[in-house]
A = this chain, B = another copy of it.
Amino acid sequence: MATHEADVAVVGAGLAGLTAARRLAAAGRSVVVLEARDRVGGRTLNEAIGDGKVVEVGGQWVGPTQTRILALIDELGLETFPTHTEGANLFERRGRIRRYRGTIPKLNPVALVETGAVIARINRMARRLDPEAPWAAKRSGRWDSQTFATWLRRNVRTRTARDLMRVAIWAVWAVEPEDLSLLHVLFYIRSAGSFEALLDTEGGAQESRVLGGTQLISLRMADELGEAVIRAAPVHRIDHAAEAVTVHHGARALRARRAIVAISPTLAGRIAYDPPLPAVRDGLTQRLAQGSVVKCMALYPQPFWREQGLSGQTTSADGPVSVTFDNSPPDGSPGVLLAFLEGGAARAASALPEDERRGLVLGCLRRFFGDRAASPDRYLDRAWPNEQWSRGCYGGFLPPGAWREHGAALRAPIGSLHWAGAETATVWNGYMDGAVSSGERAASAVLAELGRP
């Protein structure tokens, strides 16, 4: 068997793995990054649309308080620009489309007041937990014993507010309310700061975009690392001892002193470990599933909706497209409408051939933006549940019971094995910012163990 060596083996060349590798290399440690795909960037992915422009079929937004990803963007010489928000947003519910401005659609006053009160209440609950240890919160037993659907059913009275909350769940977690532990919802909100921080465009997680596309962040880091990044190298087994790991990929074996596994927990659970991992860790990866997203883009000669006073942002409780955005390049050419299928709708659509998905999505865009939306110059999409090396987006989530029983295994190193990835972050869990901070944390832990050379 062909073997090679490094101080540290990193599994996964997404933002977490590359950030960790870069830190380790900067500290003088030799590192090899093994990436299953033939490209880097994980859940970020640029697609060229001509004239040197790109759209992102993976993660794309950054926002305030996302200090780690913003610092990295800056360090790599990249720039951000604001998400297009000018104009009125649309809200569709029970066959009716309304215009509104801001985050929460103009609903009937009772529903509007209730939605505000419910969000405030959730924020208050979220503030009562420590994102480092959500299972230790005083009320964690109660919160982790119920689904978010149960909580909504008990605590939200108007159907309008419930519909609105369901779209919010699609938009943030890409699952259905019944999939989520209430404790997971609270943890996730706590890790981002507030529910509004997750939902908002201006002032929130959708505020800005990266010039040239977010995959550039990973591409630049991989360029720096050069031959230390090995593509098309899926890892199938890791042998580990206190001070040594052997990471098997194809017919090769990488020997190192530490490994940082920087892929989603559900995929990390598919690697064979020798010796096998403790039950509490194995049980975690049995339970932590990925959300379901299909990200779709329709390209037009111009962003024609802007002429109609529309921002391109839509929230639909009717679906199957739940959320849209104006995703045009900064100069507005071409005009790009971004449409998300999320949760159950994404799962159903992932099973369809692309042309049927196209029909489904364009049908929704036509409802929202009129006949011109039905005939784009180009349509493209990415069904993330079908992607072998992601198996879902945006991130992972835990069902009831799992945080309390298995949460402590999410980040805890096991001998020479360390864990990174957006799912392991305590700040902006599930986001690019969380991926970066998780890579930094894992690199620091490994450096502390190995010492600086």
Contact = CB atoms under 8 A, between A and B. Distances in A.
A246 interface: no
Contacts of A266: 286
Chain A interface residue bracket vs B = 35 or more
A427 to B, nearest CB: 25
Contacts of A351: 278-280
Contact of A283 (B269, B279, B289, B400): B289
Given A283-B347, A286-B266, A391-B282, A400 B399 contact: yes
A283 B149 contact: no
Contacts of A286: 266, 288-290, 391-392
A96 B310 CA distance: 69
Contacts of A391: 279, 282-283, 286
A28 interface: no
- Secondary structure call for the A interface: mixed
Contact of A147 (B276, B288, B386, B401): B401
A93 interface: no
Interface in A126-178: 144-147, 149-150, 153, 175-178
A385 interface: yes
A146 B153 CA distance: 10
A178 B401 contact: yes
Contacts of A347: 279-280, 283, 405
A289 B289 CA distance: 11
A270 interface: yes
26 contacts: A144-B178, A145-B177, A146-B149, A147-B147, A175-B401, A176-B401, A178-B401, A178-B404, A179-B399, A179-B401, A179-B405, A266-B286, A269-B270, A270-B270, A278-B350, A278-B386, A279-B347, A279-B383, A279-B391, A282-B385, A283-B289, A283-B347, A283-B385, A283-B392, A287-B399, A399-B402
Given A145-B177, A149-B400, A344-B405, 9 more contacts: A145-B153, A146-B149, A146-B178, A178-B404, A236-B272, A270-B270, A279-B386, A280-B350, A283-B289
